[in-house]
Amino acid sequence: MAVDGGSRLDHGTPAIALERVTKRFRTPGGSVYTAVRDLTLTVARGEFCAIVGPTGSGKSTTLSLISGLEAPSSGRVSVLGEPVAGVTRRAGYMFQTDAIFPWKNVLDNVATGPLYRGVRREEARRRARAWIARVGLAGFEDRYPYQLSGGMRKRVALAQSLINEPEILLMDEPFSALDVQTRTLMENELLDLWSQTSASVVFVTHDLEEAISLADRVVVFTAAPATLKRTYRIDLPRPRNVAEIRFDPRFTRLYEQVWGDLRAEVMIAYERTSRGTVA
């Protein structure tokens, strides 16, 4: 589907709204660490939003807050107009490290979501087979994760999330562990699968190229405590080919703009860690 980046956005209730959200953690040492401070961010329905920021800048924490895995210390989080209380059932979540179940084969891994949500076993398996085919793993249904390559495990994780037909998809550096070629393949496949849904995506990454080539909007976070520094509209046409879009002159221009902002934050974070102090 060749949908223009702008026209598929629905400007009614936002898919995700964070209003002046702060998240503090108690560290094992007893002190308090503020991961996110006063963050206000909205993601429109159907929007692909990428978050970039220096390491340890509360990007993952932001995803946990949206999913309801963590509750904010103050501020409001709402998903599709409803305040988040507990784990929301409308989100899918792809974790940075492998989070598929090692004791389940591919079929049962993908069927997990529907089973948890009360779908009968045969129906869950039928849906799972369809999704396994969609992510290109047909024929691997009875393999266990340890028998799969890193890229294949990511496909399983993707199918496992998407089978629940989430309205928002949260992705925490999902492809960072993959080699460059596999990664580009997976990024294209993600765009293809996403274009067939109306889901909003929040994609956390430290890789600016990945962010620009995938997203409608790139959000730059400051060094911890994270808050929004600036957002950039990425008006590159869709459908995109991630492997080729990097050569587009507009891509280069955007990259330079965003990198200027990101660089300053990366330097701040770097200086802090090299001095051994975490604010």
Binding-site size for other proteins (CB under 8 A) equals 26
| Rounded CA separation 113/125 (Å) | 11
| Rounded CA separation 175/234 (Å) | 21
Q: How far is the CB of 224 from other proteins (least distance, A)?
A: 21
Phi-psi region of 192 (alpha: psi -120 to 50; beta: other; left: phi over 0): alpha
Nearer to other proteins, 93 or 131 (CB): 93
Q: How far is the CB of 164 from other proteins (least distance, A)?
A: 7
Nearer to other proteins, 38 or 98 (CB): 98
* Span 184-243, contacts to other proteins by CB under 8 A: none
x-or-dash string of contact with other proteins, 137-176, rule CB under 8 A = -------xxx-------------x---x------------
Q: Retrieve residue 226's tokens.
A: 């994270």
x-or-dash string of contact with other proteins, 107-136, rule CB under 8 A = -----xx--xx-------------------
Q: How far is the CB of 96 from other proteins (least distance, A)?
A: 8
* Span 32-91, contacts to other proteins by CB under 8 A: 67, 69, 87, 89, 91
Whether 131 and 110 have beta carbons less than 8 Å apart is answered as: yes
Whether 23 and 72 have beta carbons less than 8 Å apart is answered as: yes
- For 188-214, b where at least 16 C-beta lie within 10 A, e where not — what string? bbbbebbbeeebbbbbbbbebebbbbb
Nearer to other proteins, 60 or 78 (CB): 60
Q: CA dihedral defined by 83, 86, 87, 91, rounded to 10 degrees?
A: 0
Which of 8, 104, 129, 238 is the binder for other proteins (CB under 8 A)?
104
Where does this chain touch other proteins (CB under 8 A) — which range of 30-38, 103-111, 205-213, 246-254? 103-111
The answer to whether 101 contacts other proteins (rule: CB under 8 A) is yes
The answer to whether 247 contacts other proteins (rule: CB under 8 A) is no
The answer to whether 26 contacts other proteins (rule: CB under 8 A) is no
Nearer to other proteins, 167 or 216 (CB): 167
**Beta strands across the sheet bearing 32-43:** 32-43, 16-26, 74-79, 82-83
Nearer to other proteins, 103 or 247 (CB): 103
| Rounded CA separation 101/115 (Å) | 14
Which of 42, 105, 182, 231 is the binder for other proteins (CB under 8 A)?
105
Query: Within a 10 A sphere around the Cβ of 169, how many other Cβ atoms?
Result: 24
Give the footprint of other proteins on this chain (CB under 8 A).
67, 69, 87, 89, 91-93, 95, 97-105, 112-113, 116-117, 144-146, 160, 164
